[in-house]
Amino acid sequence: MNKIFNAADSQKLKEIMQYRRDVRGNRFIDKEVSSQVIDQLLEAALFAPSVGYSQPWQFIIIDEQTIKQKVFNSFTDENNKAKTLFKNQKSSTYNQLKLEGILEAPINIAVFYSPSKEPVLGQTSMADMGKYSVVCAIQNIWLMARSLNIGVGWVSIVDPEKVKTAVKAPQKSELVAYLCVGYVSEFLDEPELKTAKWQKEKLKAEVIFKNTFT
């Protein structure tokens, strides 16, 4: 089937991307995420492109509080280390930010990259292409979730090995993302770090070039 989309479809996709947000724990509400919805998110993930059609992703759906607590403990340890790296105003801002929703979100999803033992078409020169494929799957989850009015928060301030231990992941698997998933009280009008003035928004001219950088 040669599926053709129209301008309304393009506009809707643009809005979903534009209003996607990284959701913190203070936004999640006490509402169950059904297994049918989780299936929709994972189906979207599996639609993602992958280098050499390798499909190198693995997803662990977590709803056990004991596992969440182990991951949260890792976040706490790593967050305490991170606090020392930021100085002056950023230090104050960092301490005020809520940077995860591990315990508050009803569902957590740990996303792993499973490297191939054999050469992968398209990955022979750029070894990280497999991990980039996993990131494409994560973005699909994020966009599908937003279209269903479900929040997703990506927690990167964790020790990957401790997360692997908590979910009993295979030794060869590499953690790419730890996601917090659930319904939310609101979606913010703009990214929280933009509002907090953590970084200045870059202009198109600063990041888009033609033919060469100069």
The helix/strand/coil state of 152 is strand
C-alpha–C-alpha distance, residues 25 and 48, integer Å:
27
| Predicted local distance difference test score (pLDDT) of residue 164 | 98
Show the domains of the chain with their CATH numbers: 22-207 (3.40.109.10)
| Predicted local distance difference test score (pLDDT) of residue 212 | 97
- Assess contact for 151 and 21: CB atoms under 8 A: yes
| Predicted local distance difference test score (pLDDT) of residue 184 | 97
CA atoms lying within 13 Å on the CB side of residue 190: 7
Bridge partners of 179, per DSSP, are: 109, 154
List the chain pLDDT tens, one digit each, 214 residues: 899 999 999 999 999 999 999 999 899 999 999 999 999 999 999 999 999 999 999 999 999 999 999 999 999 999 999 999 999 999 999 999 999 999 999 999 999 999 999 999 999 999 999 999 999 999 999 999 999 999 999 999 999 999 999 999 999 999 999 999 999 999 999 999 999 999 999 999 999 999 999 8
Q: Which residues contact 135 (CB under 8 A, 6 or more apart)?
A: 176, 177
| Predicted local distance difference test score (pLDDT) of residue 136 | 98
pLDDT tens digits for 145-160?
A: 999 999 999 999 999 9
Bridge partners of 68, per DSSP, are: none
| Predicted local distance difference test score (pLDDT) of residue 195 | 93
| Predicted local distance difference test score (pLDDT) of residue 1 | 81
What are the two backbone dihedrals, phi and then psi, of residue 125, each rounded to the nearest 5 degrees?
-105, -30
